[in-house]
């Protein structure tokens, strides 16, 4: 999984938290604790998929263009980093005569594919609204 997923979820939750205000990439970057250029890259992707809208110029920025209770983390995961659990390199070599080396790639590919399905299924049960509610609950317990 990459950090773009976390930036996307954080930004969408922040926009859901402040629905009556536009947020600039600088404001989002400050809240996310990253560089504005990284936020702009992620927000561009979210805009292209219809999750946010932008307004140019003074008073402009990003605002949510979706129902936070209808957008699942699985959707955002598929947009930002599908298949990212599987590493780009897996040990072993199918050409090797050794049973372990000769089968490791195939077995690990299946394991990561199964893990990906389980992760997406888990994320299907969580929405941007759920994350915001969890944050509010966490804040209440802080006192």
pLDDT band for position 1 (cuts 50, 70, 90):
low
Percent of the chain clearing pLDDT 70 (strictly above)? 99
Structure confidence at residue 142 (pLDDT): 83
Structure confidence at residue 143 (pLDDT): 67
Task: State pTM to two decimals.
Answer: 0.89
Phi then psi dihedrals of residue 45, to 5 deg = -65, -45
Structure confidence at residue 85 (pLDDT): 83
Q: What digits encode the pLDDT tens for the residues 61-95? A: 999 999 999 999 999 999 999 888 888 888 998 89
Q: How far is CA 56 from CA 3, 23, 63, 98, 140, in A?
A: 26, 11, 12, 61, 36
Higher pLDDT, 3 or 89: 3
Q: What digits encode the pLDDT tens for the residues 122-136? A: 999 999 999 999 999
As a whole number, mean pLDDT of residues 10-16 equals 98
Question: What are the structural domain ranges in the chain?
Answer: 3-142
In the CATH scheme, what is the code of domain 3-142?
Answer: 1.10.10.10
Structure confidence at residue 58 (pLDDT): 84
Q: How far is CA 63 from CA 11, 38, 59, 95, 121, in A?
A: 10, 17, 12, 53, 28
Q: What digits encode the pLDDT tens for the residues 95-117? A: 999 999 999 999 999 999 999 99
- Within 8 A by CB and 6+ apart from 118, the residues are none
């Amino acid at each position: 999984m990459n950090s773009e997923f976390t930036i996307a979820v954080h930004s969408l939750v922040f926009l859901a938290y402040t629905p009556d205000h536009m947020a600039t990439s600088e404001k989002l970057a400050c809240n996310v604790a990253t560089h504005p250029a990284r936020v702009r890259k992620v927000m561009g992707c979210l805009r292209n998929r219809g999750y946010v809208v932008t307004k140019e110029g003074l008073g402009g920025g990003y605002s949510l263009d979706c129902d936070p209770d209808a957008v699942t983390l699985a959707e955002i995961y598929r947009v930002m980093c599908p298949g990212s659990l599987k590493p780009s390199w897996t040990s072993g070599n199918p050409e090797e005569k050794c049973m372990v080396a000769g089968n490791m790639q195939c077995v690990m590919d299946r394991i990561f594919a199964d893990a990906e399905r389980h992760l997406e299924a888990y994320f299907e049960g969580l929405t941007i609204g759920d994350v915001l509610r969890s944050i509010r609950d966490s804040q209440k317990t802080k006192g």
